[in-house]
A and B are shown apart, each in its own frame.
Chain A
């Protein structure tokens, strides 16, 4: 499966421009991490990809055909977990998934439901009413409905929100396994999730793509721009983007990113989080 986003812009009726001239190629198999601050345009991009919105400019091609012409085909190959979604509270987990399986036209729904319930560790709650579930369990139902029918294209918008660390790791591994033979787009604020599983990263800010490449390339772009120092004076922080501040018995140890590190800062190996913050902070300065 291949998606081509060509010069896509999206302006809402309110006048807010969410995306500006976006160009992006997504090809399976791949697990692509979509990073960006709040309001960067990530969710808008995802809504465009699931045909919930139409771009005001540009086009999206699915295997070479315009999305509006193959909307049904795209949706038949799609598993989507939005950032904010509702469930039918009065149904049980199994009933809700059966409902979604009917909407998705899943063949052998019983087996498919059993598989996804197992995949998201909800066997014990399979017969529980959705209204009785915790936030994390609801999120898992959301992930399960996206996985129903083994779709070749998966979009997860903030999938690990509300999950505890153990669950997060479980789902990171699940996404990684899922992406072995399909296209998975994962939007998140949790850099650690991206670093652990994504082979490609797209950084979006102010409705424009700021970076596309591998996590290693993003990290390399911040080399020489990450440093640490012992804070002696608050003025030392001026012009720096502080990414960590640790109170120790010897004083306050600061980690910072900057275009030009001050002489009192000792260069450090950048992490993906440093690189991401460097990219975003550099843009803010510009």
Chain B
């Protein structure tokens, strides 16, 4: 299983598309950091969890896209044709799916890490600020549910029709353009700009109200539930 995981990581991460995606991510990250984050959001410091959360929300567009890009390695017509060979082996489908899922998550985690390191370097260079621990909570709350949901829902979409994965890539762009209710504010970043203002204090401590946490919890749970469907065989085998 370890070998399958390593080969899947190699397939997902050692190619020009991943390198291209990483470069685009870094360039877009630099643009956001130097044009938006540097000013701080909602009258908070550029390195406040609110400003950092806003940065991550903007980066989520590309992270979501990257996560679904990894899935195309498993759901493309070519991959489905290869799955006929894999299905005829004694490897339990659940274990095989777990190894592949772990590889896709590793890819997502690497891209996320890239974003965070870029922000950390930016904060260090611009403001000599190094208290990165305070940024962990906004990162977890913003990215983890969204990316696990992207992986689970994207997998399901790809099983139905491979091209649906590409359609699904547009979802965060659509969400960014829509006026979402406060409860879904983490999905388009509006939470980080609007909520601190309602707290009526200067540079408020980072908190997430339950009404916002609930959809995140639901998205995370839904993503995990959908991921457990990974052991389902490809319809191509039938």
Q: How far is the CB of A105 from chain B (nearest CB, A)?
A: 6
A221: Cβ under 8 A from any B Cβ: no
Q: How far is the CB of B50 from chain A (nearest CB, A)?
A: 41
- Does A99 contact B4, Cβ atoms closer than 8 Å? yes
In the bound complex, CA of A95 to CA of B3 (Å): 11
In the bound complex, CA of A99 to CA of B82 (Å): 12
- Does A104 contact B89, Cβ atoms closer than 8 Å? yes
A169: Cβ under 8 A from any B Cβ: no
- Does B84 contact A85, Cβ atoms closer than 8 Å? yes
Q: How far is the CB of A82 from chain B (nearest CB, A)?
A: 5
- Does A80 contact B81, Cβ atoms closer than 8 Å? no
In the bound complex, CA of A157 to CA of B237 (Å): 14
Minimal Cβ-Cβ distance residue in B for A80:
B88
Given contacts A98-B3, A102-B3, A103-B96, contact A86 B89 (CB under 8 A): no
Chain B residues with Cβ below 8 Å from A88 are 11, 82
In the bound complex, CA of A141 to CA of B1 (Å): 22
Other A-B pairs, 13, CB within 8 Å; known A50-B88, A52-B233, A85-B84: A51-B88, A52-B237, A75-B89, A85-B81, A87-B82, A90-B15, A91-B7, A91-B10, A98-B3, A100-B89, A102-B3, A103-B4, A104-B91
Chain A residues with Cβ below 8 Å from B88 are 50-52, 75, 78, 80, 82
**How many B residues face the partner with a CB closer than 8 A?**
28
Chain A residues with Cβ below 8 Å from B86 are 103
Within 8 A of B (CB), among A49-90: 50-53, 72-73, 75-76, 78, 80, 82, 84-90
A200: Cβ under 8 A from any B Cβ: no
- Does B87 contact A91, Cβ atoms closer than 8 Å? no
- Does B7 contact A95, Cβ atoms closer than 8 Å? yes
Interface string of A98-118 (1 = CB under 8 A from B): 111011110000000000000
B238: Cβ under 8 A from any A Cβ: yes
Given contacts A75-B88, A76-B90, contact A86 B82 (CB under 8 A): yes
Interface string of B99-143 (1 = CB under 8 A from A): 000000000000000000000000000000000000000000000
Interface string of A124-149 (1 = CB under 8 A from B): 00000000000000000010010000
In the bound complex, CA of A52 to CA of B87 (Å): 7
Of residues A75, A88, A89, which shows the largest number of chain B Cβ atoms within 10 Å of its Cβ?
A88
B201: Cβ under 8 A from any A Cβ: no
When the two chains form the complex, which single residue of B7, B80, B233 contacts A99, counting CB atoms closer than 8 Å?
A: B7
Interface range for A: 20 to 34
Q: How far is the CB of B44 from chain A (nearest CB, A)?
A: 44
When the two chains form the complex, which single residue of A73, A82, A90, A98 contacts B85, counting CB atoms closer than 8 Å?
A: A82
In the bound complex, CA of A72 to CA of B91 (Å): 8
- Does B238 contact A86, Cβ atoms closer than 8 Å? no
Within 8 A of A (CB), among B1-37: 1, 3-4, 7, 10-11, 14-15
- Does A53 contact B238, Cβ atoms closer than 8 Å? yes
In the bound complex, CA of A86 to CA of B84 (Å): 8
- Does A85 contact B89, Cβ atoms closer than 8 Å? no
Chain B residues with Cβ below 8 Å from A76 are 90
B198: Cβ under 8 A from any A Cβ: no
Chain B residues with Cβ below 8 Å from A80 are 85, 88
In the bound complex, CA of A103 to CA of B96 (Å): 8
B208: Cβ under 8 A from any A Cβ: no
Chain A residues with Cβ below 8 Å from B91 are 102-105
Chain B residues with Cβ below 8 Å from A145 are 85
- Does B89 contact A91, Cβ atoms closer than 8 Å? no
In the bound complex, CA of A84 to CA of B80 (Å): 11
Minimal Cβ-Cβ distance residue in A for B88:
A80
In the bound complex, CA of A50 to CA of B87 (Å): 9
Interface string of A244-271 (1 = CB under 8 A from B): 0000000000000000000000000000
In the bound complex, CA of A73 to CA of B90 (Å): 7
B78: Cβ under 8 A from any A Cβ: yes
In the bound complex, CA of A47 to CA of B235 (Å): 13
B39: Cβ under 8 A from any A Cβ: no
Minimal Cβ-Cβ distance residue in B for A145:
B85
- Does A72 contact B90, Cβ atoms closer than 8 Å? yes
In the bound complex, CA of A88 to CA of B83 (Å): 10
Q: How far is the CB of B9 from chain A (nearest CB, A)?
A: 12
